[in-house]
Structure 1
């Protein structure tokens, strides 16, 4: 396996630098390929047998819809209007090691982490990673992303490996994708298209499917490409060689028809999503009518959010060692040790460079975070670069009004897999962070205690006697307030408690 580096001058020091860069790239690729078949290195050796949990049927259904290896992905066999339905089979990964000034990850370690994440995304989409290429450049080539010479070398690697798809670890301009496809002669997919495809596979709810389809169409529209007659245009008399009537082109071309159909479908999807918004608001409002605190679980994809929610609530949500396994938000009821009731919401996972189309499409879902009273920010402590995960999550949340203003509690998950020194360093960098393991239960009780401390508390003191006929109010005080003392007297139930302002008004009105 050979992955050449950029051309250098003939000086000995340049030759040594080129050899070192080539050796480093080969070492990175070898490490990434050695982990094939696993979602991420942090969980590669700790897979659990979850065949009997509530998500086993869904995992089985997902496995049953993997790509069929016999389908062709040659460019001439794929209708461009269906380009969003990517058929990934055997893929070669391509990444650039760019300096930070050029928008790159700055450093071989970051480039390796990014390409390993791309491999995990490809596996989650149902493809087989055959090879990978990392090239060190100052900036992406504006024509082919890699440069002409490197693109030809990539074509040789693709041909030798028998791959049918190239996945680029970055977002390609439409012209770059077309130019690279023309050289390698197989379908070229960028990171954005890959993430959109995974979302399309995993969306279950009607709203989720509509949101994903809208994001796919927004991504596809500027990237439509025509071949042959689809590019023909109308030609009037002289232009058509003087033949006149009967010799003109077909009128609206195929690519124009495709664009019009996509715009019409996008408009319809936006109307449908707007029509679904009241339903979500009703559900959200029903939880908000009473003073029930809400906690949103947010974090990087595959950080263990669903596992942590199962540990805290026994929700039985599907857990899978894959990226973006959970898309649709799930709300579960939880109870504090003092009897207070609150809700926990499992949200969609984030990833660095999350496509802007998805952020816009899933805005109504991400607003669950902004509406919460507390955010549990779950971080994979066993990941090679947890700080970059935290930064990626906060970058996405910054686009949701009010999301960064919600109090945040950072939870360092997978403490049983993380290096102890790494945990110490993270806790020193992140004051107040808690180390837990959703798999073993380590630190979960401490997390419950901290969570209860941070939940908003009722602030209006009351000392009332509630008639026995208003047992509903007593029940609400038990569920939503903090009872200091309770006494059953002849006239009714005497309560000394702290409650919300609205409940205090009702108690005062009903009191004898």
Structure 2
């Protein structure tokens, strides 16, 4: 169910309802129908008009539905009144997304963050007097169990404080891991994009690792990090992140801050866009809004136009002719077919800050670690085993430069 009070146009409304249906199916709901109402603004008591509510009440017996899902966020009062009028469970988009997150969280970190978001969302509904004891199990109630949902406000606030404390500890652990990665001088590329755009499939294609892949929304909740060697031999860490979505609940952005910090700390963002979607620009805008909330919108970005294998060559050319600023590069590719990966790797290598710095060093034979580091992280152009050490010429990442400066070889006048 959706309300068109912004005169968005038929195509946009249909796309939103398709996405809501897909979200509902991902949560395990059997969708029997969709409906919209055009109004100048939501009704403060029922969200919908009284006539539409009466129509839904009559339709309930014909269509035999026991759940009504709204694409917009409902106030506690609206939700309570609709349930009373229609005698069915009513949930909004936020509760639906929270339910999907509760199903898909695999790690302790993910489960803690989902529970915190659920409780933040439920607390005002408890204050509003919503009767939670009769909800039972199912969509809209996963995560915190029935006993928690029936507890008083004080106990819920206490649990939220506990969760916030645990999540803060997770953030500390993540910071330590990031610091460890910095010490070995790996640049980090965070893969971002709208949910189900193909981010996990791309990471799998780049690394040949068994990353969880599925044609469903929000498959990735817990970030996965893999080491990838680019065409210029530079080694880079790629991190897959939770998919963004339009109207992503504020509580989720806040609760998943520990996870989304991977985006904030990345050196480069790789934005994966489903090139087949009619509303691709809207999805891009949703990603930009979330990046803005995270303070990461100004980071250097490369755009991967995914799933172009489903488009005609002329449609791909038309896409490439569009204005994609401020992306540093735009690469058509297919993660599933593994096409366009080489150009994408080159684009990422060129866009990464902290570029490779040319250097020539004479390393003593005792400096095994430095020699290995040059080979592992640098571009080696020439190696000469001399009596006084190993002369190596090439380029190293700027982050590693200080490690090699003490061994810098005096410049040679090659014109002589």
TM-score (norm 2): 0.88
DSSP 3-state at the match of 1:128: coil
State the number of aligned residues.
Answer: 391
Give the drift of 1:283.
1.1
Q: 1:287, 1:158 → 2: CA distance?
A: 56
* Partner residue in 1 for 2:180: 286
Q: 2:398, 2:319 → 1: CA distance?
A: 40
Match of 1:177 among 74, 79, 96: 79
Give the drift of 1:156.
1.6
Structure 2 gaps of 5+ residues are 134-147, 410-416
Give the drift of 1:461.
4.0
Cα pair distance change 1:129/1:421, threshold 3 Å? farther
DSSP 3-state at the match of 1:132: coil
Cα pair distance change 1:144/1:208, threshold 3 Å? same
Give the drift of 1:205.
0.9
Match of 1:486 among 383, 390, 410: 383
Q: 1:202, 1:291 → 2: CA distance?
A: 32
* Partner residue in 1 for 2:58: 156
* Partner residue in 2 for 1:119: 21
Structure 1 residues 352-501: aligned runs within 5 Å: 352-401=246-295, 403-418=296-311, 420=313, 422-427=315-320, 428-430=322-324, 432-458=329-355, 460-500=357-397
Structure 1 gaps of 5+ residues are 1-93, 101-105, 232-253
Give the drift of 1:457.
4.8
Give the drift of 1:214.
0.3
* Partner residue in 1 for 2:9: 107
CA deviation vs aligned residue, 1:356-379 (integer Å, no higher than 9, x gap): 000001112112112111111011
Report the aligned-residue RMSD.
Answer: 2.4
Cα pair distance change 1:443/1:502, threshold 3 Å? closer
TM-score (norm 1): 0.72
Contact 1:467/1:511, CA 8 A, preserved across alignment: no
Contact 2:76/2:128, CA 8 A, preserved across alignment: no
* Partner residue in 2 for 1:192: 94
DSSP 3-state at the match of 1:218: helix
Q: 1:255, 1:399 → 2: CA distance?
A: 30
DSSP 3-state at the match of 2:225: strand
CA deviation vs aligned residue, 1:391-420 (integer Å, no higher than 9, x gap): 00000110112x112111111111122355
Match of 1:130 among 12, 24, 32: 32
Give the drift of 1:438.
1.1
Q: 1:255, 1:371 → 2: CA distance?
A: 36
* Partner residue in 2 for 1:329: 223
Structure 1 residues 8-407: aligned runs within 5 Å: 94-99=1-6, 106-224=8-126, 258-401=152-295, 403-407=296-300
Cα pair distance change 1:317/1:228, threshold 3 Å? closer
Q: 1:140, 1:230 → 2: CA distance?
A: 25
Give the drift of 1:421.
5.1
Q: 2:18, 2:2 → 1: CA distance?
A: 10
Cα pair distance change 1:333/1:98, threshold 3 Å? same
Contact 1:458/1:481, CA 8 A, preserved across alignment: no
DSSP 3-state at the match of 1:213: helix
Contact 1:434/1:443, CA 8 A, preserved across alignment: yes
CA deviation vs aligned residue, 1:141-198 (integer Å, no higher than 9, x gap): 2211111111011112122111111001100011111111111100000000000000
